[in-house]
Each structure stands twice: as structure tokens, then as C-alpha cells.
Structure 1
Amino acid sequence: MQTFLGPDFLLDTAAARHLYHDVAENLPIVDYHNHLIPEQIASDKKWDTIGEIWLAGDHYKWRAMRWAGVPEEKCSGSASFREKFDAFAAVMPKCFGNPLFHWTHLELQRYFGIRDILSPATADMIWEKANAQLAQDSHSARGLLRRFKVEFVGTTDAPCDDLAYHKAIAEDDSINDMVVAPSFRPDAAYKIDMPGFTDFIADLAKVVGYAVDSYEPMMKALIARLDHFVAHGCKATDHGIDVLRFAKPVNVASLDAIIAKRLSGEVLSELEIAQFQTNVFVDLSKAYYERDLVMQLHIGAIRNNNHRFYKTLGPDVGGDSINDLPIATELNGLLGEMDRDGHLPKTVLYHLNPSFNEVIVTAAGNFQDGEIPGKVQAGSGWWFNDQLDGMQRQMTQLSQMGLFSHFIGMLTDSRSFLSFPRHEYFRRLACQMVGRWVEQGHVPNDRELLDGLIRDVCYQNAANWFLAKK
């Protein structure tokens, strides 16, 4: 029987133990998609308490706490961070099987050297030990990134953001050991059916200094903002696609009519929404291709399902879940249209519903062009799937229907500076999978080949995409 989260956690073969401890364990991290706040990196923020750094804005924890009967005041509400921490400590022993149990204790071990199990009995001790360390420079925002050798941080930023904090970071010589780059997230531009579209168009017009009341000025403005991002080091773009639509592209006059109809307050038909979104995606994808940017498509969330939460707390508070709308025709149609003139950029596809893993992998295979290895990626297990079973299924299906060897690996997709043990979680699982292949005779026990495979999947492939110097 293994020790809980001991040195060989998940490593159940000799090959897996070698691959992790001798190859993967100490590799740097390229975290190409997360929701860290650039201002906190620029200011090298310190947190007063573990309650604050753990529980401010973490909807994963809030969902578990609500499930255990914790009132909202102690989740997202007005209770003190000590009260919230104590509530979370009381819930933790009830989280067996949930990835929060592993993540929480990996974070305690890796960041604070605490191997005790979080519970009401240990809460006081853990609070004091963790808070004492958070006061040190080693546990500032940059210190936490450096503890895990994070070389690349890809934040997620709105098109109208001035990127002032990214500029400050780039000009700060004390942080030249890592790259912090903005990622262009233009959701509000193509979600023409959503309430925020008209406000976004007004904000975009203010930023660029001219009217944005038809299609061509809108695209001109978006590309101007994209170039602003590129000037500040942007390597990637990201798109949250709750409903994936596709329609045959239409001419500019038709798009102008759709925009005018929407701005006048009329309700668009599904076809009009699909036509508009398809054209925007195709035109943006060409701009991404021309600037050598990575395009990420996050598909399949159904958001803000709890109307009370949304009304009182807003979005991203734990009221989102997995959708099951079909995507195969739409995804292949959209990628095919982007690729029609050879302008499909490097692309990462994610779906929140694991039943679509095979659809994602086989769609990615349709658009490999023999020029860039793994040009279209089946992205890692996302959100509800960045746990053991979800990551294992994604990697298994990728290896069986595509090429695992060209996978760009894991990302945190997190708002927390304490989330980087998720890369360890992923690396251990990847080594477990390959180690079992060796044990079962599925692959040769060739250390040179296997070491290279793990190094590539855990670090080098992503470094090649996001850190050209590597």
C-alpha cells in the first residue's frame, strides 16, 4: 500500500517511476492558458492568508462547499477568509474521490511543506504555517511561479484591454526569467446573440476612435486590437464557444444587415447568428495565421444555469456545466472553411463533454497539413475533465486516433497561483500510461525513445509553440 500522495503516487510500474522521477518531475512549465491576473504579477502581490489565495474566486471549491451544505456567505459571500477557510477545512474530509482532495493536499505539500490532511482538527495549524510562509518573498506571485519553474504564463484578456500590466511586466528586468503574455479573447465580438454585444461594440469604437456600426469597420477594429496584443507579446488567442454554429459564409452586405438588425434591438434568427459567427471566425483565423498565433477553441459549456446565482453573484461562480449539443458537422465545417485557402492557424480544440473526445481527435486529424507537427491539437482534459479519469481518457483516445507524441500537454486554466501542481498531476498520469504500455509489451522499453516522448509531451512541444527560443 502506497503512502497518500507519496513519491510514487500514480507511478505503478518501474518504467513509470523512471519516466517521472528522471525525466518529467523537474521540467519547466509552459502554462499557455490560464486566468491569472496580470496586475498581481506586475505588482508581485502577496496574500495575507491562505483563505484569500485559496477561496477568493475559486468556483471549483465553492461548488464542493455548497454540495456539502456550506451557506453562500462562507463560499463567495461576506464571511471572513478565516471563516471560509474553516468551512473548507470541514468539507475537505468529505471530498474523497474529487480532484479537489488531491489538488488541495498537493498544494499544501508542494508550496508549504505541509503533509497533514486538512480537516477541522488541523485547520489552526495549517492556517498559521501557511500564512507565515505567504508573508515571505518566496510566496509572492512571482515567487510562487518560480517555485514551479514556470517559463510561460498565457493570461486571458479582453480585446479592449490596454495591456498596461503586461507592458509593465515586460519592462521589469527583475522578471526576465519568465514570459507573461496576453491571449486575445474576443468572445463578445462574435456572440452577437448575447446581451453584451452592443456594449462591446460601443467600447470597441471608443478604443479605436471610429464608428463600429458595420462588418468591415468591426473587423478592422478587432484586427487593430489584435495587433496591439501582438505588440505586447501575444502568442495565442482563445474563444469560449458555448454553442458551436456553422453556416456558409455570406457577403459583407448580408453581414451589415445582420449587425444593423441586432443594433436596432431585433432578434436574430439562428441562421443569421450562424452566418455572422462563421464569417467572424474565418476572418479572425486568417489574421491569426498571418501573425503565427495559436487559436484555442473551448467548446461545450452551458453557462449561468442557476438564475439566482447569476442574478446575485454574476457569471463564473459555479453555475456552469457540461452541454451535449452535437458539434461534428459544425466543427468540421468551420475548420474546413478556415482551411479553404490554407489559412488555418495552429489550433487547439477542447470540449467540456468527454463523450466528444473522439469527435475532437478525429476532426483534428482531418486538418493536419504535413507542415507543422500536430498543427491541430486535441486539447487536454478541460474544466470538469482535468482529473485522473478525464485526462486519462483524453490521452488514450488521442494516442489511439492521433499522435500522442505531438501533444502540447497540460495547462492550469486557473485563476489561482497555487494551481501549478496540476502539471505534476498530469505528468504523473502521462508517465503512468506510458509505463503501463511498457509493462504490457505494447511499446519497447527503449529509454531514449520513451524519455524523449515524455519530455516532449510534458514540456518541449509546448515550448516549441510558445517559446520559439527553446
Structure 2
Amino acid sequence: MKAFMGDDFLLESDAACRLYHEVAAPLPIIDYHNHLPPRQIAEDTHWESLGQIWLEGDHYKWRAMRWAGIDERRITGDASFREKFDAFADIMPQCLGNPLYHWTHLEMSRYFGLDGTVLSRDTAAAVWDAAADRLPRPEFGARGLLRRMAVELVGTTDDPCDSLEHHRALAREPDLGFRVVPSFRPDHAVKIEAAGFPAYLERLSAAADMPITRFEDLVAALERRLDHFVAAGCVATDHGIEIARLGAERTDAALTAILKRRLAGHTLDEADIADFQGAVLVALGRAYARRDLVMQLHLGPIRNNRSALVRTLGADVGGDSIGDRPFAAALNALLDRLDRTGDLPRTILYSVDPSRNAVIVTTAGNFQDGSVPGKVQAGSGWWFNDQLDGMRRQMTQLAQMGLIARFVGMLTDSRSFLSFPRHEYFRRLLCDMVGDWMERGHIPPDHDLAAGLVTDICYRNAARWFAAR
């Protein structure tokens, strides 16, 4: 029986062990998509306790605690962080089989030196004290935690109206040791059907310093803010797409008429919503291509399903799930509309529904044009799928239906500064897969060949895409 999460955790062959320990483990991290607050990096935030840094904004943990019967007071309520941590430690034995179990223990080991300690009610006090000893140290601020994991690039997720003041301040620090770049996330300007759309356009108008009364104005304002992002180091953009829509191609005048009806308080029909959203996405895609920015499309969740949570806590607090709406036709049509005029940017596609992996991979294959290797990517296992089965399934289908050698690899998609061992989790799994291919004779027994593949997926491909500027 192997030791719990020992040196060869997840590595089931000699080839896999060699690939991980000699090749993957020493590589730096390019975390090109996450939700870390740039202010906390700029201010080098320190946390008062493990409860605060672990539980203040992590909806993965919140969902597990609710599932285990913990009352909301000890999850997001007014209980102390020690009470919340104790509740989390108490339910940890119930998390066997959930990636939280592995993530938690990787973080305990890599940040706090708690190798071999298993979190439970019995060990909670010792774990709390070990973290309390380290967190006040200078190297355990936001910056030190990133350096500890050899992070080279942090791609945050930012609204077009954001000032990006913290990104600019960080860029002026020559000895920072890593880059922090903004990513342009214009969802609020695309989703014309959303309740807050008119108010958001007022914010965008103020940020862009121009009135928005026509469709052309909206595009111009977004491009003005996009240039603001590029000046601050932006290399990628991001869209959250719950319902994939691409309507008919309409004139600017017709799109302006839709916009005016919405701003006047009218409810739009589905055709108008699809026409407008498709037009904004196409205009933005062309703007991204002109600036050589990566476009990321996150497809398919159903968000904020539990109204009681939304009413008391707001959006994005653990009430989201996998959606089952079709998106293949609309997605292919969107990429084709950009591609046929030569305006398709480098693109990464993610599906929250694992049954759509093959749709994502084969759609990506449709739009490879020889200009950039892997120009359209099948993105890593996202959200509910960044666990062993989900990541293995995504990479297996990418290898079988596309070219895994061009894969830009893992990202945390996280709000936590302790989440970077997830890259190790991914790397160990990848090395086990490639090592198994060697052991079974599916690929040649050539360590250098396999090492090149692992290095490309874990680091070089992402560095070429996101860190070359």
C-alpha cells in the first residue's frame, strides 16, 4: 500500500515518476486565467488565519460544507474564522473522493510543511497552529505565496470598467519576480437581456468617457477600454457564456434599434437577443484579433440556481451547476463568422459539461488554419471537471481527436492564493498518463520524446501564448 500522497502520488510507473520528478516538477507556472484580486497582490496582503485565507471566498469548500450539513453561519455567516475552519476540518473525512480532499492536503504540505498530516477534527488544532506560525512571516503574503510556487505569470479577470491601477503599479516594480496581467471580461456589456444591463452601460459610458446611444457607440467604448487593458499588459480576454447564441447578421441601424428598445425598458424576444449578442461577440473577436489577444469562451453553466442563496449572499456563492443546453451549432457559427473574414483570434474553448468535450475538440479542429499551432484550443477540464477523472477525460479526447502536443495546459481559475498546487495535481496526472502510454507500448520508450511533450503542455505552450510579450 502506498503512503498517502507520498512523493509518487498519482504516479503508477517508473516512467511516470521520472517524467514528473525530473521534468514537470521544476517547471515554472503560467497561470493565465484566475480570479485573484490584483489589489491583494499590489498591497502584498497577509492573512490573519488559515480560516480566512481558506474559507473567505472559496465556493468549492462552501458547497462541500453545505452538503455535509454545516449551517450557513459557519460557512459564510458571522461565525469566527476559527469556527469556520473547525467546521471544515470536521467534514474533511466526508470529502474522500472529492478533489477538495487532495487539494487541501497538497496545500497543507506545500505551504505549511504538514507532510503526512490528515486533516480532521482531531488534527484541526495542530493544523491551525502550524498555519498561524507561518502566515505572519513576510514570505507568506500574497507575493510570497506566488513566488513559493514559482509562478511566472498571473492572468487576472477584470471588468472593462476597472481602472487597472494595481496592474500598472505592479508593472512598475522591476524586482517583483512575476507578471500580473489583466484579462478583459465584458460579459455585462454582452448580455443585453440581463436586469443590470442599462445600469452597466452607464458605468461603461463613464469609464470610456463617451455616450453610448447606438450600437457603434457600444463597440467603440469597449474598444477604447480594450486599448486601456492592452496598455496595462493584457494578453487575453474571457467570456462566460451560459446560453450560446448567434443570430442573424444585422445592420448597425437594426442593432441600434434593439439597443434603444432595451434601454427604454422593453423586453426583447429571443431573436433580438441572439442578433445583438452575436454582433457584439463578433465585433469584439475582430478587435481581439487586431490586437493579437487570446479569446477565451467558457460555455454552459447554469448560474445562481438557488434563489435563497442569491437573495442573502448574492451571485457566485456556490449555487451554480452544469447546464445541458446545446451549443455546438452556435459556437461553430460564431467562429466561422470571424474566420471567413480573417478575424478569428487565438481562442480557447471550455465546456463545464464533460459530455461536450468531443464537441469542443472537434470544433477546435475545424478552425486550425496553419497560421498558429493550435490556434483554437480545447481548454483544460473546467470547474466541476478539474479533478482526476475530468482532466484525464479531457486530455484523452484531446489527444485522440486533436493534438495534445499543442495544449496550453492547466490554469487555476481560482480566487485563492493557496490554489497553485492544482498545477502539481495536473502535472502528476499528465505524467502518469504519458508514462502509462510508454509502459503499454502506445508510444516509443523514448524519455526525451515524452519529456518534450510534458514540458510543452506544462509550460512552453502557455509561455508562448501568454508570456512572450
Q: Tell me which interval the TM-score lies in, with the shorter structure as reference length.
A: over 0.9
Tell me the residue number matched to 1:59: 59
Tell me the residue number matched to 2:217: 217
1:304 to 2:304 alignment: yes
Tell me the residue number matched to 1:452: 452
- DSSP-derived class of the 2:350 partner: strand
Tell me the residue number matched to 2:140: 139
Tell me the residue number matched to 1:169: 170
- DSSP-derived class of the 1:79 partner: coil
The one-letter code of the counterpart of 1:360 is I
Tell me the residue number matched to 1:281: 281
1:376-399 per-position Cα deviation (integer Å, ceiling 9, x unaligned): 000000000000000000000000
1:245-302 per-position Cα deviation (integer Å, ceiling 9, x unaligned): 1122211011001001100111111111110011111110111001010000001110
1:404-427 per-position Cα deviation (integer Å, ceiling 9, x unaligned): 000000000000000000000000
**TM-score, normalised by the number of residues in structure 1:** 0.99
- DSSP-derived class of the 2:15 partner: helix
**Aligned ranges for residues 83-94 of structure 1 at < 5 Å?**
83-94=83-94
The one-letter code of the counterpart of 2:162 is D
Tell me the residue number matched to 2:259: 259
The one-letter code of the counterpart of 1:351 is S
What displacement does 1:198 show? 0.6
Instruction: Report the Cα distance in structure 1 between the residues aligned to 2:441 and 2:207, rounded to whole angstroms.
Output: 60
Instruction: Report the Cα distance in structure 2 between the residues aligned to 1:455 and 1:216, rounded to whole angstroms.
Output: 44
Tell me the residue number matched to 2:122: 121
What displacement does 1:367 show? 0.2
Instruction: Report the Cα distance in structure 2 between the residues aligned to 1:203 and 1:371, rounded to whole angstroms.
Output: 38
Tell me the residue number matched to 2:415: 415
What displacement does 1:172 show? 2.0
**Aligned ranges for residues 58-457 of structure 1 at < 5 Å?**
58-115=58-115, 116-175=117-176, 177-457=177-457
Instruction: Report the Cα distance in structure 1 between the residues aligned to 2:213 and 2:195, rounded to whole angstroms.
Output: 17
**TM-score, normalised by the number of residues in structure 2:** 0.99
- DSSP-derived class of the 1:46 partner: coil
Taking only the aligned residue pairs, the percentage that are identical comes to 60
The one-letter code of the counterpart of 2:184 is F
The answer for unaligned runs of 5 or more in structure 1 is: none
What displacement does 1:208 show? 2.0
Instruction: Report the Cα distance in structure 2 between the residues aligned to 1:20 and 1:254, rounded to whole angstroms.
Output: 56
Instruction: Report the Cα distance in structure 2 between the residues aligned to 1:247 and 1:306, rounded to whole angstroms.
Output: 30
What displacement does 1:120 show? 1.0
Tell me the residue number matched to 2:467: 467
Instruction: Report the Cα distance in structure 1 between the residues aligned to 2:31 and 2:458, rounded to whole angstroms.
Output: 11
1:189-225 per-position Cα deviation (integer Å, ceiling 9, x unaligned): 1100011111110011112222101100110000000
What displacement does 1:171 show? 1.2
- DSSP-derived class of the 1:144 partner: helix
Aligned Cα root-mean-square deviation (Å): 0.7
Paired residues in the alignment total 468
1:328-366 per-position Cα deviation (integer Å, ceiling 9, x unaligned): 111101110111111100000001000000000000000
The one-letter code of the counterpart of 1:369 is D
- DSSP-derived class of the 1:174 partner: coil
The one-letter code of the counterpart of 1:132 is D
Instruction: Report the Cα distance in structure 2 between the residues aligned to 1:190 and 1:53, rounded to whole angstroms.
Output: 33
The one-letter code of the counterpart of 2:386 is D
